[in-house]
Structure 1
Amino acid sequence: MPSVENAVTIPQLIAAAARAYGDSSAIEEAGRRISYRELDQLRRQAARALLALGVQAGERVAIWAPNIWEWIVAATALQSIGAALVPLNTRMKGAEAGFVLRESGASLLFVIGEFLGVDYPRLLEGESLPALRRIVSLRGASHGALAWADFLSLAAEISPAELVVREEAVNPQSLSDLLFTSGTTGNPKGVMTQHGQNLMVVRDWSAVVGLREGDRYLIVNPFFHSFGYKAGWLAALMRGCTILPQQVFDVQAVLECVARERISVLPGPPTLYQSLLAHPQRAQYDLSSLRVAVTGAAAIPVQMIHRMRDELGFQTIITAYGLTEVCGFATICRAGDAPELVATTSGRAMPGIEICCVDAEGHLLPPGEPGEVLVRGYNLMQGYFNDPQASLETIDSDGWLHTGDIGVLDEQGYLRITDRLKDMFITGGFNVYPAEIEQCLLKYPGLAQVAVIGIPDERLGEVAMAFLLPTPGNTVEEPAFIAWCREQMANYKVPRRVQVVQAMPLNASGKVTKNALRELASAAV
């Protein structure tokens, strides 16, 4: 039987972790403590229930829920029988979730009945989902969904031996997940990655970060994102940590949890640490247990790194850079790096991974010269699901993945991201794709043309600003427009500023020049 270090599939890892860490606490959430041994038992029970529902190897199974313990059980169970995990963003509206479910061909959906006042299954009413055979409610009753307890009871129909056969058929090359990410076309694409490559990169990441057996890991990053999933619960289970999931980021709740639960590992976007440092009652909480912080996705002031060490007590502060297309990991700082290096770079390439910068013609650039960031290594995706053309456009014939980001490498190989070839920007740690928002906004009555850019925001890094060109004779009322946007898309995508224009700035080929819009936005402040 493989050890935790030698596991090459996720079911092997969970089984090995149960043997290695036994009755140690794996997850603590909602008043429940689940040991490593019990987690493995729950995984096997849920996997047998999936077999009872006829889920086949290679099928896609989606999860649409916040950070709860059932999420981890469902994910590891479906991966144990050779199905691929399709996480759905909890901020999605029905049409957005419906698109991902259709594109992935998901045959089964695990969902939460209600979260933050939203009935998730009801959001899908009216969506055409021909491949979806069953919905299982992880927590809370929901019309038309199989309750979690009833789902688990189906395991009785399948023998443990049948599960063993399916588990043994899973190999390092089996598809483990399909994470959807948008691109410049505006349509989300499913990124395919495998069991073996994910475990290898997570193993390297957790070693660099310094995760230890017994660490208490507060996971605020959502499980549907590679930060909360791969650098989150998967890394924690590999290292024998205790996972404490948090469903919603609330500064007060984080402070209380750190003090009460003696949290030692707390990754998150820079906004998380900024919020903790700015909290007026922070001094009332004992934060002395904090040891490891991992951040990224936005520029960080050097002073903030110093304050995280001096005032929050972090011994290890690490920044990193990655994309969904590289299993979420590409570069990372190392423990002991100077605060200035942590603040101004995203670290250097992880073991076994190559990074370079090239000019517009694809020529390799020397250190200090800005160019497009390329990544090559075992961590590259297997391609975009059902989109071979987009896959060929992203990974070249030499095996380099073109990130669309512009960066500079220094003499030591440390990477500094300076801009984006794509228009994508980051709001509070979430990737935001203007083309996707623009496609949605064009559905609003009376609009001839729209353009979206990212503008600076003190708290969230960048937020969306929309430029609107109405059709002749029409006007746009901003309050009604924003209210409509909130119904159509996840909150982090909703434009925070709106400007109605009489004409869009266009280049010679008729495309909107986003730089001219950025100048307009700056002039209007």
Structure 2
Amino acid sequence: MAFSSTCYNPDGVYRSPRPPVSFPTNPSLSMTTFLFRNAASYPERLAIADADSGETLTFAQLRSTVFSTAAGLQRIGISKGSVILIFAPNSIHFAVTFFAIVASGAIATTVNPLYTVSELTKQAKDSGAKFVFTVPQLWDKVKSLHLPTIFFGTKLPSEIATSDAPIHYFSDLISVPETEFFEPEIRQSDIAGLLYSSGTTGANKGVVLTHRNFICTSVMASGDQDLLGEPPNTFLCFLPLFHIFGLSVITYAQLQRGNSLVLMARFEMEAMLRSIEKYRVTYTFVVPPVMIALAKQAKAAKYDLSSLKLIGSGAAPLGKDVMEEVAKSFPTVQLVQGYGLTESCGIISLEYPQGKDRVYGSTGFLTVGIDGKVICVDTQKPLPPNQQGELCFRGPNIMQGYFNNPEATKLTLDSEGWLHTGDLGYFDEKGQLFVVDRIKELIKYKGFQVNLNAVIDILYAKFKLFPDVEAGEVPIAYVVRTANSSLTEAEVQKFIANQVASFKRLRKVTFVNSVPKSASGKILRRELIQKVRSSL
């Protein structure tokens, strides 16, 4: 690999040291056309395996199934620009559905299956969803949407017969001949996905991602494999496909390169190890809690994991001690960290494979095609290496804005196309990126974003953070009770648990007389954090 030694420029902009690549320039290129552009060269190669069901698809079968499903979508009235909601766990059907939606020119919006009815309803209404894909187990949540529903699977709830909205079945869609598919005119600039993120301003917003965003991200995310001259790899993915990293950086990016994908519905240690052995997995990406579990586990010796070459970690920073412990258990495996956001279609930086120029704590160098800068939070002026400020990025993978939210878009994307992340960090003199903290008032619990202000709106409470070895951070509330109140910790926790998804629930409640505030009345959360840490 030939790398540039210059990353920092006099204009205050950091650039990738990776060799430049050419991104597709044809304006009339869709994600699916790009996905299958070379598939005729390897029709019998494994494309996707479902580790839970045992179902597999070759690249020829994947292509045929995607376009049959797209034809089925057109038959039931889905057309270009329609927003289709996917509310389901990982499966082959999820991946096929996503590709079929974008092939038909429609727009996919994905939802965490752990969401409550109110959270699901909010996203469905905000995105303007016209149809929903789901599994029978989630019908109790979906039925309140009163939307036409397409079911994966065969065991259907009896009450579906009384549904006031049309019901369809995935098995019927994929039986439609692919020759019936009418390919609409799709441009790279057309919207492909609306994936929701808290962003820098709190409330969940639809991140507008185009076909070009996904295409360019896929080139960025697979580029190092090409530079190393690697043969097709096999990726294991248990990270959720409703999340940008699992959907974009793993599923789409790796399949377009001709890599094979093994999907798991959820993480379970022994199931993961069995899948690595069975499918001869070479690459897998995880979140810090899984990396920590790998550092602690002693079961790896039971399995043949000799095929595994690389484990990547993202979603939250990972400490040197954890990386070193995992390295002891997997001495022949490369361990890398990366950084990305929903607003960047999942990727910003990635460490080099083979440990080149490793600095523990770094998320690596910018991927090809991305510019970065660090600005002073107060003056907005660019900062030189080793000075902390807000991280900003620009590139062909950056979102177009927030759906129907020009105010939030203006706060996050400036007139020069820079994405202001709300994250605090710096580049060192070599151009390696370090993400230090979050300016935005969010925490990440097991890789999931928890917007403290959203929980406060429900509870009218004041929150602090508590370091947790496996979760990273956990939501804890400081609650000021009214006079003569008998409110208990259990009552507060139960109230929140009924309002939000499980990963947003309170892990502890502390009752206090007051919370620290600044002269302007802003809650001093950092003082609360420091108070808790000092008591450990």
Q: TM-score, normalised by structure 2?
A: 0.88
Instruction: Assess if the C-alpha contact under 8 Å between 2:291 and 2:313 holds in 1.
Output: no
Task: Supply the distance in 1 between the matched residues of 2:511 and 2:535 (Cα, whole angstroms).
Answer: 12
- Equivalent position SS for 2:241: coil
Match in the other structure for 1:52? 75
**How many matched pairs?**
499
Match in the other structure for 1:198? 214
Task: Supply the distance in 2 between the matched residues of 1:433 and 1:60 (Cα, whole angstroms).
Answer: 25
- Equivalent position SS for 2:353: coil
Residues 1:10 and 2:31 are matched in the alignment: yes
Match in the other structure for 2:47? 26
Q: 2:150 aligns with which of 132, 136, 139?
A: 136
Instruction: Assess if the C-alpha contact under 8 Å between 1:332 and 1:346 holds in 2.
Output: yes
Amino acid in the other structure paired with 2:132: L
Residues 1:174 and 2:190 are matched in the alignment: yes
Residues 1:486 and 2:500 are matched in the alignment: no
Q: CA deviation at 1:218?
A: 1.0
Q: Deviations over 1:457-505 (max 9, x none)?
A: 0111111111112233323222233233333211111121211122222
Q: 1:383 aligns with which of 379, 401, 407?
A: 401
Task: Supply the distance in 2 between the matched residues of 1:378 and 1:152 (Cα, whole angstroms).
Answer: 33
Task: Supply the distance in 1 between the matched residues of 2:125 and 2:439 (Cα, whole angstroms).
Answer: 29
Q: For the structure 1 residues 400 and 185, does the alpha-carbon distance in structure 2 shift closer, same or farther, using more than 3 Å as the test?
A: closer
Residues 1:148 and 2:170 are matched in the alignment: yes
Match in the other structure for 2:182? 163
- Equivalent position SS for 1:403: strand
Q: CA deviation at 1:397?
A: 1.8
Residues 1:344 and 2:340 are matched in the alignment: no
Task: Supply the distance in 2 between the matched residues of 1:246 and 1:429 (Cα, whole angstroms).
Answer: 17
Q: Deviations over 1:9-53 (max 9, x none)?
A: 222034324313201111111121211111111111110111112
Residues 1:500 and 2:511 are matched in the alignment: yes
Task: Supply the distance in 2 between the matched residues of 1:47 and 1:326 (Cα, whole angstroms).
Answer: 27
Task: Supply the distance in 2 between the matched residues of 1:312 and 1:487 (Cα, whole angstroms).
Answer: 41
Q: How does 1:401-412 map to 2 (within 5 A)?
A: 401-412=419-430
- Stretch of structure 1 that moved more, 256-265 or 210-219: 210-219
Q: How does 1:63-212 map to 2 (within 5 A)?
A: 63-114=86-137, 120-127=138-145, 132=147, 134-139=148-153, 140-142=155-157, 143=160, 144=163, 145-153=167-175, 155=176, 160=179, 163-164=182-183, 166=184, 169-183=185-199, 185-208=201-224, 212=230
- Stretch of structure 1 that moved more, 463-472 or 9-18: 9-18
- Stretch of structure 1 that moved more, 476-485 or 319-328: 476-485
Task: Supply the distance in 2 between the matched residues of 1:63 and 1:263 (Cα, whole angstroms).
Answer: 27
Q: Deviations over 1:207-231 (max 9, x none)?
A: 2256955422110110011111111
- Give unmatched runs, 5+ long, in structure 2: 1-22
Q: How does 1:435-446 map to 2 (within 5 A)?
A: 435-440=453-458, 442=459
Q: 1:516 aligns with which of 517, 524, 527?
A: 527
Q: How does 1:331-480 map to 2 (within 5 A)?
A: 331-338=349-356, 340-341=358-359, 343-359=360-376, 360-440=378-458, 442=459, 449-480=460-491
Amino acid in the other structure paired with 2:216: M
Task: Supply the distance in 1 between the matched residues of 2:331 and 2:533 (Cα, whole angstroms).
Answer: 37
Task: Supply the distance in 1 between the matched residues of 2:83 and 2:114 (Cα, whole angstroms).
Answer: 21
Amino acid in the other structure paired with 2:149: I
Q: CA deviation at 1:296?
A: 2.1
Match in the other structure for 1:445? none
Q: CA deviation at 1:161?
A: 5.8
- Equivalent position SS for 1:464: strand
Match in the other structure for 1:290? 308
Q: For the structure 1 residues 252 and 52, does the alpha-carbon distance in structure 2 shift closer, same or farther, using more than 3 Å as the test?
A: same
Task: Supply the distance in 2 between the matched residues of 1:230 and 1:242 (Cα, whole angstroms).
Answer: 15
Amino acid in the other structure paired with 1:103: D
Residues 1:228 and 2:246 are matched in the alignment: yes
Task: Supply the distance in 1 between the matched residues of 2:116 and 2:210 (Cα, whole angstroms).
Answer: 28
- Give unmatched runs, 5+ long, in structure 1: 115-119, 443-448
Task: Supply the distance in 1 between the matched residues of 2:357 and 2:417 (Cα, whole angstroms).
Answer: 33
Match in the other structure for 2:12? none
- Structure with more relative contact order (C-alpha pairs < 8 Å, separation 6 or more): 2
Q: CA deviation at 1:94?
A: 1.0
Q: For the structure 1 residues 461 and 34, does the alpha-carbon distance in structure 2 shift closer, same or farther, using more than 3 Å as the test?
A: same
Instruction: Assess if the C-alpha contact under 8 Å between 2:151 and 2:169 holds in 1.
Output: yes
Task: Supply the distance in 2 between the matched residues of 1:294 and 1:318 (Cα, whole angstroms).
Answer: 5
Q: For the structure 1 residues 337 and 279, does the alpha-carbon distance in structure 2 shift closer, same or farther, using more than 3 Å as the test?
A: closer
Task: Supply the distance in 2 between the matched residues of 1:28 and 1:126 (Cα, whole angstroms).
Answer: 33
Q: For the structure 1 residues 229 and 418, does the alpha-carbon distance in structure 2 shift closer, same or farther, using more than 3 Å as the test?
A: same
Match in the other structure for 2:17? none
Instruction: Assess if the C-alpha contact under 8 Å between 1:408 and 1:416 holds in 2.
Output: yes
Instruction: Assess if the C-alpha contact under 8 Å between 1:476 and 1:500 holds in 2.
Output: no
Q: TM-score, normalised by structure 1?
A: 0.90
Match in the other structure for 1:218? 236
Q: For the structure 1 residues 102 and 314, does the alpha-carbon distance in structure 2 shift closer, same or farther, using more than 3 Å as the test?
A: farther
Task: Supply the distance in 2 between the matched residues of 1:352 and 1:477 (Cα, whole angstroms).
Answer: 53
- Equivalent position SS for 1:85: strand
Amino acid in the other structure paired with 2:169: A
Match in the other structure for 1:446? none
Q: CA deviation at 1:259?
A: 2.2
- Equivalent position SS for 1:163: coil
Task: Supply the distance in 2 between the matched residues of 1:334 and 1:178 (Cα, whole angstroms).
Answer: 30
CA RMSD of aligned residues (A): 2.2
Task: Supply the distance in 2 between the matched residues of 1:524 and 1:437 (Cα, whole angstroms).
Answer: 25
Amino acid in the other structure paired with 2:49: E
Amino acid in the other structure paired with 1:136: I
Task: Supply the distance in 2 between the matched residues of 1:304 and 1:505 (Cα, whole angstroms).
Answer: 34
Task: Supply the distance in 2 between the matched residues of 1:94 and 1:482 (Cα, whole angstroms).
Answer: 18
Instruction: Assess if the C-alpha contact under 8 Å between 2:467 and 2:533 holds in 1.
Output: no
Instruction: Assess if the C-alpha contact under 8 Å between 1:395 and 1:401 holds in 2.
Output: yes
